[in-house]
Amino acid sequence: MKKIAIIIFVLLCSCNKEKLKETPKEIRKEIPETALYFTQIKSNDVKLGKPGYGDWLSSHKEKGQTFEQYFFSKHIIPTKKENIIYIRPIGNFNSLQKKQIELLNEYLAIFFQLKTKTLKSISNDVVPNSARRMMFGHEQLLAGYLLDDVLKKEKPVNRIALMGLSELDLYPKPEWNYVFGLASYRDKVGVSSIYRLQDGELTSENFNLCLSRLLKISSHEIGHMFGLHHCINADCVMNGSNSMSETDKHSIRLCSVCQQKLSSCIKYDDRKRLTDLENYFKRNNLTPQFLAMKKDTEAVSTKKNI
C-alpha cells in the first residue's frame, strides 16, 4: 500500500524545542517592553479552535514559542554582510508564473522589510536522470538533490536566506509520492514547488488563490529561517499545516506575538510594514488579505492610551 503523500515541508533541521532556561534577573531586564503597536493589534488575533481530524495540531503536539523564548534563542539577525533574501527559479516558467514570482519578490521584501532579489532562472537540466522520475504522468525532481547539490552551493552576495522555486513537482525519497518542498533552516536554504499550488494549471481565474498560497508558504518557511516556531495560539501564517485546504484556511497575517518576534530580529518600522502590506494587497486585488491588514491599521490608528 502506498504511503499517503506528505504535503507539508519536510525539515532537515527541526525547530529548536528546548525550554527556555532560567535567566538571571539582570539579563531578563534586556527584554523590551511590549510596544503599544503589538498591544493594539492583539485585539485582532483570532484564537485557534480545537483542531479537527487531520489538522496539523491534531497530530503534532507542539508547545509553541513565547516571545521571551524567541528573544533568547539563537537565530539569524540581518547584518551588513547578510541582509538580502534571494529567490532562485528552477525550470521553465510561463508568463503567468513569472508574474507570480515578481509578486512574490515584492511581497517578501515588504513582509521582512529586507531587500529581496530574484536570481536568473536555471534549467531543470541541473538535475541528473538519477534524481528524476515520472509519477502519475508528470515529471518529478528529487528535492534533496536540489537542496544539497544545487542551492547549498550557491553563495550570492549578502545572502541571509535563499529559496529555490521549482515549476516541476518534487519528491523527497522513492517511497513517497511528493512534497511541497524541503528546507534546511540551519543553512538558511529551502526549495519549494509551485506545481501543486496551481490546482493543475495556473490561469487568470485561479491566479489570486495560487498567489496567496505561494505568499503564505514562502513567508512561513523563510520565517522559520529567522527562528520563528509554529504558532499554536492564534490564526497566523506561522501555523503548521497538513494539507492545502488547511493552508487555505489559515490567515496570511502574522499574529501579534509573531510580529513582535520578527520585529525584534529585523528592527523595522512596524507601522510602515503594515501600511506597505495593506497597499500591496489592495493593489493586487487580494481582498481578504487587504481587509485583515486594514483591521490592524484601524487598531493602531486609535488614540493612544494615556
CA nearest 124: which of 35, 193, 48?
193
Given a cut of 70, whether residue 161 has pLDDT beyond it is yes
Q: 16-20, 121-125, 191-195, 292-296: lowest mean pLDDT where?
A: 16-20
- pLDDT on residue 199: 87
- Give the active site residues: 221
Average pLDDT over residues 91-119: 98
Average pLDDT over residues 230-250: 94
Q: Give me the amino acid identity at 191.
A: V
Nearest alpha-carbon partner for 98 in 125, 121, 77: 121
Q: What is the pLDDT of residue 144?
A: 95
Query: With bands split at pLDDT 50, 70 and 90, how would you rate the model's confidence at 124?
Result: very high
Arithmetic mean of pLDDT over the chain: 89
What is the biggest distance separating any 2 CA atoms in the chain, rounded to whole angstroms? 66
Where does the pLDDT of residue 2 fall: very low under 50, low under 70, confident under 90, or very high at 90 and above? very low
Q: What is the pLDDT of residues 56-70, one digit of tens each?
A: 999 998 999 999 999
304 band by pLDDT with thresholds 50, 70 and 90: low
The ranges assigned to domains in the chain are: 1-6+30-75+230-300, 77-226
pLDDT in tens, 248-267: 999 999 999 999 999 999 99
What pLDDT, in 10s, does the model give residues 14-47?
344 333 344 444 444 467 777 999 999 999 999 9
Please identify which residue in the block is written with the cell numbers 492545502.
244
User: Between 30 and 303, where is the model more confident?
Assistant: 30
CATH level 3 topology of 77-226:
Collagenase (Catalytic Domain) (3.40.390)
Q: Which of 56-90 are b and which e, b meaning 16 or more Cβ less than 10 Å from the residue's Cβ?
A: bbeeeeeeebebebbbbbebeebeeeeebbbbbbb
Supply the pLDDT for residue 7: 40
pTM: 0.88
